[in-house]
Structure 1
Amino acid sequence: MATIVFAILIALSLVLAVAAKKGHATTSVRDFFIASRQFGGFLVFFLSVGEIYSVATIIGFPGSIYAKGGAFGIWFLGYILLAYPVAYFVNPLIWRAGKLYDAVTIADLFKGHFKNHAGGRVLELTVTITAITFLVPWGELQFGGLIVALGGLGWHISPAILVTFAAALAFFYIVISGIRAPAYVAILKDVLMMVAIVVTGGAALSQTHLSTIFHAAGPLASSHLTAPELRFTMSTIAFQAIGFFMLPFNTQNLFTAKSEQTIRRMQMFMPLYMVMFPFLVIVAYYQLGTHAHLSAPNGAFMAAAVQLLPGWMLGVVAAGASLAGLLVLAGISLAIGPLVTRNLFGHVPERKQRSLAQIVILLYLAFSITLTLLAPTLLVTIQNTAFFGFTQFFPGMMAIMFFRRANPLAIAAGIIVADVLAVAFFVMKVPTHDFNIGAVCLLINVAILIGGSLLAGHQQVMPVALRRTAAVPAAGD
């Protein structure tokens, strides 16, 4: 029964993807990748939430509490909550910059702002290569979660076949109607994921009292923070909160909106989704208290669902978790495609960018599948590593928004040095006095940007915060 329900819901998502194309010609690059900036608040909301609350939420969050204890939840919830007020002020300006510079990708923002100045192309390439590099582990994050979600259906199928099936579905969404398909399917995904989380958490509560769940898991789930853990937690919250919307696919989602006001309205309602996290914590503690020896921590949520829910409901849970991963995979792919065709190979004519981007997306999905099968790891560890790269865009983005004299070569140097040091510190386990590695490197990034801009000098460019979108009409408007 679980498989039948799962198949029906996945088929429904495919119907929604096809329906998303109705009345829209997705032949142009801008319509395919950013819906010609036509989405209202409703679709932007679901599209953005669909990318934020991914398979790492439903699978990775309880899995990490199961593996690392309750103190982990403080960091995860903290950075998401702090990210929302940051995004309320920053995201409308990102949309404004996208409109001013007719941007499709995050790299287009840097390209457009510094297009008449030496170093602009270097900065564009730096942002492009960094974005692509750190999007690869984010794809592995989704595939890893999909393997766990689909495994809960009891299929005796190899992981290679499961992830290939998932990649084919994600590619189908993309080919049918570009960014419109993930936006429409995200509505179904959010309903299913919320139901899956609340029902599974409720089922755990129905087995025993809340106090019993936490009492049983207490000896196994440390919920206090030592001084070193507190330093790491607080620095990670701050670091990832400002980098939350620097993810290339999140930035691209903002470009689909009609206006800045659409972005502001959407941001006001996004914290409502935090209602799911208490139920995820309950599931994680339930598993700790009753099944403290799972072979794979990432399987904590699905193991609870298999144990507690009837077959048909398990199909709903698996469908919600799977769509959460599939939509982010589609979003990542839609970000990588134009990054390669528009920014990495800047000479590609627009009429060929869409077809070439689809080839790039296929290659990306194949590479991510290979990486997932050869190097699986704890999902949230992958997420943390990816933030090392994405958050380094923040100083440069602030320079575009607010500063007149930022030097593009200084911005590029800051990103490169910070990325290299972050990866080197992580691999070599260099001590950073218990502060988040990425946060330490972000300070170095800022110092290079400011120092380099002061030393090199640069022709003034009016910051985006002082401009209006009507000042520079978008191409084709």
Structure 2
Amino acid sequence: MTGVIVGCVILLSLGAAGLARVRSRHLSVETLLVADRALPAPMLFILTVGEIYSIGSIVAFPAGLYAHGVSYGYWFLGYLLLAFPVGYFVGPAIWRRAKQYDACTLPEVFGRHFESVAFERLTAWACVMALVPWGQFQFIGLRSVLDTMGLSAAPAAGLAGCAVIAFSYVALGGVRASTYVAFLKDVLMLFGIAAVGVAAICMQYKLSTGHAQIITPTLPPPFGSSLVFAISTIIYQGIGFYFQPSVTPYLFTARSEQAVRRAMVFMPLYMLMYPFAVFATFFALKFLPSLPNPNVVFFHVAATLLPPWMVALAAAGALLAGLLVLAATSLNIAAMMTRNIAPGLGRRHPRRAINLAVILFLVLALVATTRAPAIMLTALNLSGYVGIQFASLWFLILTGWPVSPRIAGLGLLSGAGVAITLFASGAWTGGVNPGLIGLLANCAIVFCPLWRDQSEVRALKEKDLL
């Protein structure tokens, strides 16, 4: 029955993607990548939260709480709470810059602002380095969901099917198709998380016989290096969240600055689902035996408390969450490969080149998932250290600080290098997130007054004023 329900949901999602194609009068490159910059606030809201609250919300968040304790929840929820007000103010400005430069990809904004093709290619490679592990993580999450559905006997076949579905979303309607599918995904995922959470609350109350209130595990606050890590991660992730390549391009699809701002107002409402995931995790910690794989904790609780058809709907929602992000990530990577890194490949047939690049990425990511998933999980941590370093470039663009592309690129590479080196070497940082240290080093370079003075002199010389 689980397979039938999930299969029906997948077919329904393909129908939604097909509807997006029908409603698009033409499928140009701009339609494929940024939905003609025509999404109203409600559709932008659905698209953006569909990408932000991905498969990690239903798999990784409960797994992190289960494996690392409550300190994981503090910084995970804390940076989201900080990111939304930051996005409210910077989101419209990001959209304005993308519109000004007529950019369909993130490197096009950077290259046209700094007037440097070389810098555009440099940032494109950096974006790809940040996005590849993020797309890979979706495959890893999809594999966990398939395992809980009893499809672990042939993982490669199941993941290959997921890759085909993700490509179908891209081919049918590009980013607009993701928006239509996101409606279905959101309904199922919210239903699944709420159902498991409510069932966990009711069962815990029933099992706690003789107590007037629900008993939960103690919640000691983080202290020492754990507290420092939580605070530094909240600052680092919260400030840089909307500047990273996995999130920023979705803002390009909005109809106007006002649409971005209105969508941002309602973003925090989605966080109402996290308390249900917390209750489900607490139930597992208190009443279920230890699990060797924390990634399956949510669905293990679901299978214990809910009837099979409800578990199937929750699994279908998780699958759609991973497929949506996988499709959007592969589309972004393909766009940068064919428009910014090797534009000659897509000059004659841009849509065909993008589709071929999507297929190439999905195949390589599929092989990596089946061969070396643990290595890619480590790479996922490193991808964040690269992705949020782009915050310095956006600071330069939004403030108009005059810096040459060489200095901007030096700051980007230095920040990523410092963060990755600290992480890989295990150097003592007093609990401070290595990414925050890297970002501070990055900003210290690009905002150095010495570079500004030289840039101003150079700009005046170019304008024949000196």
Q: TM-score range by the shorter chain?
A: over 0.9
Task: Judge conservation of contact 1:139–1:332 (CA < 8 Å) in 2.
Answer: yes
* Amino acid in structure 1 at the alignment position of 2:93: L
Q: Does 1:205 align with 2:201?
A: yes
Q: Given the alignment of the two structures, is residue 405 of structure 1 paired with residue 395 of structure 2, yes or no?
A: no
Counterparts of residues 269-280 of structure 1 (less than 5 Å): 269-280=266-277
Local SS of the residue matching 2:27: coil
State the Cα deviation string for residues 262-288 of structure 1 (Å, max 9, x = none).
000000011000100000101111111
Equivalent residue, structure 2, for 1:453: 451
> Partner of 1:438 in structure 2?
435
Q: Which residue of 2 aligns with 1:318?
A: 315
Which string of whole-angstrom CA distances, capped at 9 and with x for unpartnered residues, describes residues 167-222 of structure 1?
A: 1110111011111110100000000000000001111112122995985644xxx6
User: Which secondary structure does the structure 1 equivalent of 2:431 belong to?
Assistant: coil
Which shows bigger deviation, 181-190 or 424-433? 424-433
**TM-aligned CA deviation for residue 74 of structure 1:** 0.4
**1:239-388 correspondence runs (5 A):** 239-348=236-345, 350-377=347-374, 383-388=380-385
- Shift of residue 304 of structure 1? 0.8
How far the C-alpha of 1:26 sits from its partner, in A, is: 4.2
CA contact (8 A) 2:302 2:311 kept: yes
| Corresponding position of 1:51 | 51
> How many equivalent residue pairs?
454
Please say if 1:183 is aligned against 2:179: yes
Percent identity over the alignment? 37
Cα distance change of structure 1 residues 30 and 255 upon mapping to structure 2, 3 Å threshold: same
> 1:21 is paired with a residue of what secondary structure?
helix
User: Is the 8 Å Cα contact of residues 284 and 300 (structure 1) preserved in structure 2?
Assistant: yes
Structure 1 residue 309: Cα displacement = 1.2
Task: Indicate if the aligned counterparts of 2:110 and 2:119 stay in contact, CA closer than 8 A.
Answer: yes
Question: 1:103 is aligned with what amino acid?
Answer: A
Which whole-Å CA distance do the structure 1 matches of 2:246 and 2:119 have between them?
A: 19
Aligned counterparts of 2:362 and 2:452: Cα–Cα separation in 1? 42
User: Which secondary structure state, in structure 1, belongs to the residue aligned with residue 23 of structure 2?
Assistant: coil
SS at match of 1:44: helix
Sort the Cα spacing of 1:20 and 1:231 in 2 relative to 1 into closer, same or farther, 3 A.
same
CA–CA separation in structure 2 for the residues paired with 1:379 and 1:207: 37
RMSD: 2.1
Q: Which residue of 2 aligns with 1:141?
A: 137
Matches within 5 A, 1:95-244: 95-115=95-115, 120-209=116-205, 215=215, 217-218=217-218, 223-244=220-241
Per mean C-alpha deviation after superposition, the further-off stretch among 125-134 and 242-251 is 242-251
**Contact 2:62 2:278 survives alignment (8 Å):** yes
Contact 1:249/1:334 (<8 A) preserved? no
CA distance in 2, matches of 1:210, 1:279: 17
Task: Say whether the 8 Å CA contact 2:59–2:298 is kept in structure 1.
Answer: yes
**1:24-64, Cα deviation, whole Å (9 max, x unpaired):** 14432111111111111111111000000000111000001
Q: CA deviation at 1:249?
A: 3.9
Please report the TM-score for the alignment, with normalisation by the length of structure 2. Answer: 0.93
CA offset at residue 450 of structure 1?
A: 1.8
Match of 1:5 in 2: 5
Which position in structure 1 is the counterpart of 2:36? 36
> Is residue 404–residue 460 contact of structure 1 (8 Å, CA) maintained in 2?
no
CA distance in 2, matches of 1:156, 1:138: 22
Residue in structure 2 matched with residue 469 of structure 1 by the alignment: none
- Is contact 2:198-2:276 (8 Å) kept? yes
Residue deviations 1:55-112 (CA, integer Å, cap 9, x gap): 0111000001000001210000000010000000101011000100001111111111
Residue 163 of structure 1 deviates from its aligned partner by 1.4
Deviations 1:100-146 (A, max 9, x none): 0001111111111122xxxx233212211111012111112111111
Structure 1, unaligned runs of 5 or more? 462-477
Runs of 4+ aligned structure 1 residues displaced above 6 Å come to 378-381
Report the residue type matching 1:284 in the other structure. T
* Alpha-carbon distance between aligned partners in 1 of 2:268 and 2:376, rounded to the nearest angstrom: 23
In 1: Cα distance, 2:118 partner to 2:267 partner: 36
- 1:382, distance to aligned residue in structure 2 (A): 5.8
The alpha-carbon deviation at position 331 of structure 1 amounts to: 1.0
- Report SS of the residue matched to 2:60: helix
Read off the aligned partner of 2:119 and give its amino acid letter. Answer: L
**Unaligned segments of structure 2, at least 5 residues:** 461-466
